[in-house]
Amino acid sequence: DARVTQTPRDKVTEMGQEVTMRCQPILGHNTVFWYRQTMMQGLELLAYFRNRAPLDDSGMPKDRFSAEMPDATLATLKIQPSEPRDSAVYFCASGFHNEQFFGPGTRLTVL
Amino acid sequence: GENVEQHPSTLSVQEGDSAVIKCTYSDSASNYFPWYKQELGKGPQLIIDIRSNVGEKKDQRIAVTLNKTAKHFSLHITETQPEDSAVYFCAATSGGADGLTFGKGTHLIIQP
């Protein structure tokens, strides 16, 4: 069945390193979202794209985070440089109209 | 922006009993209200949703109700089973395909 896939599933890195997370949305979905989940803040929207165009990235720290969608089958979220406070689970979701379907997430640990 | 409050944070019920989780939202322009179930180590799974032109929706043992005037919506699970144990999130969005604003989650525990 159609699913959102994310890689890597787990990432441990040291402070200052670059981290790239990838997402393959469900074929035919025109909207892709990036969310972050932490115990303290819960689920927060970072950015989203519609038809590959960025619509809102107000949830992202602009100085270190960037999100792109180079083609319809790939969305990326990059953190450079990473900091310990970026440790969280990052989810990609894709959708068409209102419904959003989440991937399994990337668990990021920054030491 | 939108603010979603969710209660309770933890709910323990006996197997076979019903469970109710409640959420309130702040933005009167919100018109789509999904509920997600998240199991440990997995992504949130959409289980039911409701749009602002509908007051109630049912799908087998789960139902959602919406009161637009009071700006609150609720998830009802009947005949609870052990596999219903999980964290449940409510969310709201103001339309189109905008990002969701989530509640803080309810940890539902089904006691055998």
pLDDT tens for each residue of chain B, 112 residues long: 889 999 999 999 999 999 999 999 999 999 999 999 999 999 999 999 999 888 999 999 999 999 999 999 999 999 999 999 999 999 999 755 589 999 999 999 999 9
Concatenating the DSSP letter of every residue in B58-91 gives EETTEEEEEETTTTEEEEEE-S--GGG-EEEEEE
pLDDT band at A100 (very low <50, low <70, confident <90, very high): very high
Using CB atoms within 10 A of its CB, is residue A90 exposed (0-12), middle (13-18) or buried (19+)?
Answer: buried
B112 prior amide bond cis, ω within 30 = no
How high is the mean pLDDT of chain A?
A: 95
pLDDT of residue A48: 94
Search chain A and give the residue with CA nearest B95: A98
Instruction: Please tell me the distance from the alpha carbon of residue B44 to that of residue A41, in angstroms, as a whole number.
Output: 16
Q: What residues are paired with A45 via a beta bridge?
A: A35
Of A20-29, A51-60, A100-109, B40-49, which range is least confident? A51-60
**Beta strands of chain A (E only): which ranges?**
5-7, 10-13, 19-24, 31-38, 42-50, 53-56, 65-71, 74-79, 88-96, 99-102, 106-110
Region A57-73 average pLDDT: 93
Total beta-carbon pairs less than 8 A apart between chain A and chain B: 55
> Cβ A105–B45 below 8 Å, yes or no?
no
Segment A14-26 mean pLDDT: 98
User: Which sign does the torsion angle of CA B20, B35, B99, A87 carry?
Assistant: positive
Q: What pLDDT is recorded for position A57?
A: 87
Instruction: For residue A24, give both structure tokens.
Output: 């393959």
pLDDT value for A78? 98
The reported pLDDT for the residue numbered A2 is 87
CB proximity B97 to A under 8 Å: yes
pLDDT at B83: 97
Query: Beta partners for A100?
Result: A95
**B99 to A48: CB separation less than 8 angstroms, yes or no:** yes
Q: How far apart are CA A3 and CA A34, in angstroms?
A: 15
- Whether B73 and chain A come into contact, CB under 8 Å, resolves to no
The reply to whether B59 touches chain A by the CB within 8 Å rule is no
Residue A1 has pLDDT above 80, yes or no: no
Give the mean model confidence (pLDDT) for residues A25-42: 95
